[in-house]
Structure 1
Amino acid sequence: MSISIENKVALVTGANRGIGKAIVESFLNKGAKKVYLAVRNIQSTKELEEKYGDSVVTVHADLADKNSIIKLAETAVDVDVLVNNAGVGKPYATIGKDAEADFAEQLEVNAYGLLRIANAFADTLIKNKGALVQLNSVASIKNFAPLSTYSASKAAAYSLTQGLRSDLGAKGVTILSVHPGPIATDMGVAAGFSDGASPSLVADGIVSSLKNGDFHLFPDPMAKQFESAYSGYAENVVLAE
């Protein structure tokens, strides 16, 4: 299903920096009517508020807190396009004394957080014939050993995104799964990638993919290498009816 961002109300989690901030700016530059900036620290969006004025609304959101997400959905009842960008990620291998705790922390935000967002906003997105965009990763389809627990948490999120395509897609909601490679963000640098692609590639790619009605987006040069290798499996298995 195709959806244009023009004149739409959007909500972006983790909107204060990196990919999230780029998405906000791309949406507004391409005609979005309003964007909710969903962040844990409501003081962190001052720059966007000063730049865009009444076109943005800062709201509190913590993906690890179910009640926070329920309150968010009760506030943002006019959302057409929801982008679940917020996530956690840090280098941690499969073997390590704190591997279990690290995996649990990343699952809490990256996978359970998606479940909370999807369930809280399902009725609104169905009513508005809207879209849910999930920021996954190339790590969701291949485990990178130095980022093993992160990769596993994103694999869980990607699987849930496929489930949402079946559940909400049948009710008129567009679902988009985004799989960037290394991006020039604080998280990317912390993971050891100093030459990541621009966040704007992800942001502008989302706008185009929503308009095209795509399910997968591989926005940057590394991600496109994955897309080329993965396309046959995606078409014949993931997207098979």
Structure 2
Amino acid sequence: MTRTAFITGTTAGIGEAAARKFVNDGWQVIGTGRRADRLDRLASELGSNFRAVEMDMRDTSSFDQLAKSSGPVDLLVNNAGLAPPMSGLQAAEQDPLDTVIETNITGLVALTRAFLPGLIEAKGAIINLSSVAATYPYKGGAVYAGSKAFVRQFSLGLRCDLAGTGVRVTSIEPGMVETEFTLVRTGGDQAASDALYNGADPMTAQDIADTIFYVATLPAHLNINALELMPVSQSWAGFAVERKA
């Protein structure tokens, strides 16, 4: 029986790699994104097993109808997300912060709620992409880290809500992955992106796509609640200490 995955944010990075991974394994994939040209290219590459849906995660009013028109779905992968510029909150503009909150939190919750009836009927699975930022704070990351901490706790709470339904819920929490994440965060600064990943041997989008696939295809009686992963080169920073002169 062919299974169907609904994956958000398939125009780049982890979402794009996940779409390829699932289609290549015989799944039907409904993939979303805001960039129609990239969705069209991916649809052309992956063929009839991939259905492209141009969508903005902030347009929550369309989600109920989208869930109905998508048909039976066995897996929801909430991958779409972004981070604001790396300024402290005291220097930040509000609009980019609102975009992050509306995308990473509000949109994710609304989309999940819309797909829940079908996922419960299918005894399916939900995989939410959080981040190590949910656990380990860093300067300039207050809103992004807060949004990913929400995703982690939302996933755990959703497990409670869905107890007895057979639906599995997992929070995947990657560390450094070389994607367009930093390019988007810096407004297209390729030098900043290159500097971040240079010599670090970071994880790749394919690494995380493989992890998503592993979790999605586990036996139906097994749930991974949260899965944190980093490249070997990455660890935790020490505490910041302000010292008097």
* Counterpart residue number, 1:71: 65
Q: Deviation of residue 214 (structure 1)?
A: 1.5
The one-letter amino acid of 1:21's match is E
Residue 26 (structure 1) aligned with residue 21 (structure 2): yes
How many residue pairs align between the two structures? 220
* Counterpart residue number, 1:122: 116
Match 2:161 to one of 160, 167, 171: 167
Q: Deviation of residue 14 (structure 1)?
A: 0.6
Q: Deviation of residue 67 (structure 1)?
A: 1.3
Please identify the structure whose Cα radius of gyration is greater. Answer: 2
Show structure 2 runs of 5+ residues with no match. Answer: 186-192, 237-245
- 2: CA distance, partners of 1:214 / 1:175: 7
- 2: CA distance, partners of 1:198 / 1:25: 14
Match 1:208 to one of 203, 214, 218: 214
Q: Deviation of residue 189 (structure 1)?
A: 4.6
Residue 39 (structure 1) aligned with residue 42 (structure 2): no
CA contact (8 A) 2:105 2:150 kept: yes
Q: Deviation of residue 100 (structure 1)?
A: 4.7
**Gap change, CA 1:38 and 1:223, over 3 Å in 2:** farther
* Counterpart residue number, 1:194: 197
Query: Sequence identity of aligned pairs in percent?
Result: 29
**Gap change, CA 1:224 and 1:177, over 3 Å in 2:** farther
Q: Deviation of residue 161 (structure 1)?
A: 1.4
Question: Structure 2 matches for 1:139-178, cutoff 5 A?
Answer: 139-178=133-172
Q: Deviation of residue 80 (structure 1)?
A: 0.7
1:22-70 CA distance string (max 9 Å, x none) = 00111122231x1001122333212221222111011132211111222
* Counterpart residue number, 1:218: 228
RMSD: 2.2
* Counterpart residue number, 1:13: 8
* Counterpart residue number, 1:112: 106
CA contact (8 A) 1:66 1:116 kept: yes
**Gap change, CA 1:142 and 1:220, over 3 Å in 2:** closer
* Counterpart residue number, 1:85: 79
Compute the TM-score of the two structures, normalised by the length of structure 1.
0.82
CA contact (8 A) 1:122 1:168 kept: no
Q: Deviation of residue 168 (structure 1)?
A: 2.2
CA contact (8 A) 2:176 2:234 kept: no
- 2: CA distance, partners of 1:76 / 1:59: 10
Compute the TM-score of the two structures, normalised by the length of structure 2.
0.81
